Structures are given as C-alpha cells and as structure tokens.
Structure 1
Amino acid sequence: MKRVLFFLGQLNDRDVEWMLQNGNRMMLNSGDQVITKGEAIDSLYIVISGQLAVYVNSSHNKCIAQLESGDMVGEMSFLESRPPSASVIVTKPSTIFQISRDKINSRLLENAEFKANFYHALALFLSNRLRGTTDQLGFGNPEEDDLLETAVLDGVSQAGSRFVQIIHRFSEAA
C-alpha cells in the first residue's frame, strides 16, 4: 500500500474528492485482463483490494510483479501516451478504482494546482517503484528502503486517511 501513499500524499483534499466523484469502482474476477500489452489504455487504476499479476510475454507464464492494495496501474502509459509494455491480469477477485484519461486531462487543463500536484505525485510514485526494482535486481541499498524526506513523509501521513476514504466510499457502493 506504500506506493499509493506517495501519490495521494501529494494531492490535496479537493483533488482526492474530485477523483472520487469522477472515478468508478470496478469489480473484477480472477482471469480478467485489466491491461493488454501493446493495446492503448484509456484509464488510470488504483488497486483497492485483491491481487493482479504483471506479465511481459504473451503466454503469461512468467509473472514479473504482483500488484495488491495500493498499487497503481496504467500510470506509465498515461504519462507517455504509449501502449503498455506489459499485460496486467487479475489473479484474485479484485476491486479497482478507475478514472478515465479524458477526465484527468480535462482537470489538468482546468486546474493548474491539480496539474502540479498530480505530476509531482506520479513522479514520486514512479521514483519509488524504480527504487524497488533496483533493489530487486540487487543494485539498491536496502538500508535506505524506508528513508523518506520530511516533506514526503508529511504527505504520506495524510495519504493514509485519503486511501481509507477511497476504500470506504467504494465499500458503501457495494
């Protein structure tokens, strides 16, 4: 769940409320494909509960990552407007928060503060993911895994309550 906290910690309450009002809850079953390698996607996703697997080959026989509550999906394609380099498949029944690229892009054009917060949030999220990958490959410094800047730490503490708010909102809709 740590990763979504980097993202939500950089947004303000208005940003999160806007996302809640403009996103959708998706209930997915094992085997459902969220993202297909090479096919354009039109949304950004946050895993609320469940488990997804990331595969880079079309036979889906080698999982390169497991995604669980608090992970984001589709952020790289959102930033680059390029098709995904991996497929993402549900491995356990999952609930996912989905918000469309069109809605996010409209908000980015209308609200400069949201734009700054959103891109800063994605940068921190992706930086954290890259550090994790570097560590996984054996090139990182494990002693630094839990070190955070004070400014990021302040945002992360607020982000926990924001993520709980998202979970609660979508639990009510069930």
Structure 2
Amino acid sequence: MKKVLFVLGHLSDKDIEWLIENGSTRQLRSGEYLVRQGESIKEIYIVLSGSLRIFNEQNPQHEIAHISSGEIIGEMSFLDERPPSVSVVANEEVKVYRISLEPVRQYMEVNTRFAARFYYSIALFLSDRLRKTTSRLGYGAPEDDIDELNSNILLQVGHAGSRFHRLLNKFAES
C-alpha cells in the first residue's frame, strides 16, 4: 500500500488544500541526492513519480529500501528534528512534492485539529513500517507482513487516493 494513504486519508480536504498551496515540486535527475545521511533536512517529501533508493553511506552498495510514487520521506526528522540516518538518491528522473517543515509547524500552532490529524497519520504510518520491519527481521508472525488494512484505515483509503491524485494533478504541469 502506498504510505501516503496513511497520511492523506486522515487529513481533511481543507488540510490538503493548505498543503497544496504551501508546497511545491522538485525534480531530481538520476543519481541526484534528495537526502544525505547526517545532513539536516527542512522538508517533508511525497514521491510523485520515479524511484529512489535508500542506503547507509557506510555501505552504499547495500540498498536498504527502494521507494517510488506514494512514499513519504522526512517524517522521522520532522518528528525528532534529528538528521536522517540514511541517504536517499534518485534511480531515475524523480518528481517529489515538498513542503517546508517550518510552515507546517506554524500551521499546527493555529490549527490544532490539523496537528492532531497529521500526527495521528504519521503514527499509523510509522507503526505499519515498524511491524513490517519486525516481521522481516524474523520477530513477527508471517501474517504481520501482509499488507492488510484494518476497517478504520480502510474507510479512509478512498479519500486518500483521490487526494493523492489531486496532488498529482495539481503538480503535473509544474
């Protein structure tokens, strides 16, 4: 499942409009870094098209993950304000939606309902990632790695899909 659905599914249409108005796109060429390990980042990214690889600079040949459209990057640094522990580089031409962290934090101060929805969606996203990682390491039950959604999340998927398409359409001409 596209990880962006965890986030967009729990935000309101007004939240999405605010994100669209306050974000922009960025194009990357193959081999270009989006994130460098140990260097602070000031934005959250949603991959709109293309693919990227995630790796540790100490072992750059070992790919930790391969991500593509619908994935989110920078959520951990948003939460804990620490530099990323991995690097992210484009495998091909990539287009990402980006929004600076400072305006998001400022908007959260004046719109606490947005803040609650945003943090809840990030928590769901990270919980899903942790369950999958635990399972891949051999500590979870095999069925924990199945990409199933509970009924709460399933209700939001339709909205999330249309919101992601709205982001894609908005920035298609950029």
Identify if the C-alpha distance between structure 1 residues 58 and 139 changes in structure 2 by more than 3 Å, giving closer, same or farther.
same
The range that moved more, 84-93 or 136-145, is 136-145
CA distance in 2, matches of 1:142, 1:13: 36
CA distance in 2, matches of 1:143, 1:58: 33
CA distance in 2, matches of 1:172, 1:36: 28
Task: Quote the offset at 1:81 in angstroms.
Answer: 0.5
Runs ≥4 residues deviating over 3 A: none
2:45 is equivalent to residue 45 of structure 1: yes
> What is the RMSD of the two structures over their aligned residues, measured on CA atoms?
1.3
Q: Is the 8 A contact 1:3 1:129 kept in 2?
A: no
CA distance in 1, matches of 2:142, 2:16: 32
Amino acid at match of 2:45: Y
Task: Quote the offset at 1:149 in angstroms.
Answer: 2.2
Q: Is the 8 A contact 1:45 1:98 kept in 2?
A: yes
2:55 is equivalent to residue 55 of structure 1: yes
- CA offsets 1:127-172 (integer angstroms, 9 cap, x no match): 1111222232233334342332222111122101100111111113
Task: Quote the offset at 1:56 in angstroms.
Answer: 1.2
CA distance in 1, matches of 2:11, 2:142: 28
Where does residue 36 of structure 2 map in the other structure? 36
Task: Quote the offset at 1:69 in angstroms.
Answer: 0.5
Identical columns (%): 43
- CA offsets 1:62-94 (integer angstroms, 9 cap, x no match): 111011111110110110011111111111110
Aligned residue runs from structure 1 range 3-14, under 5 A:
3-14=3-14
Task: Quote the offset at 1:58 in angstroms.
Answer: 4.1
Where does residue 163 of structure 1 map in the other structure? 164
Amino acid at match of 1:115: A
Amino acid at match of 2:85: S
The unaligned stretches of length 5 or more in structure 2 are none
- CA offsets 1:98-148 (integer angstroms, 9 cap, x no match): 000111111111101100000001001111111222232233334342332
CA distance in 1, matches of 2:137, 2:83: 25
Where does residue 93 of structure 1 map in the other structure? 93
CA distance in 1, matches of 2:78, 2:153: 23
**Secondary structure at the counterpart of residue 128 of structure 1:** helix
- CA offsets 1:31-70 (integer angstroms, 9 cap, x no match): 1111111111000000011011111124522111011111
CA distance in 1, matches of 2:47, 2:139: 28
CA distance in 1, matches of 2:54, 2:132: 15
The range that moved more, 90-99 or 143-152, is 143-152
Query: Number of paired residues?
Result: 173
The unaligned stretches of length 5 or more in structure 1 are none
Given the two structures, how large is their TM-score scaled by the length of structure 2? 0.94
Where does residue 153 of structure 2 map in the other structure? 152
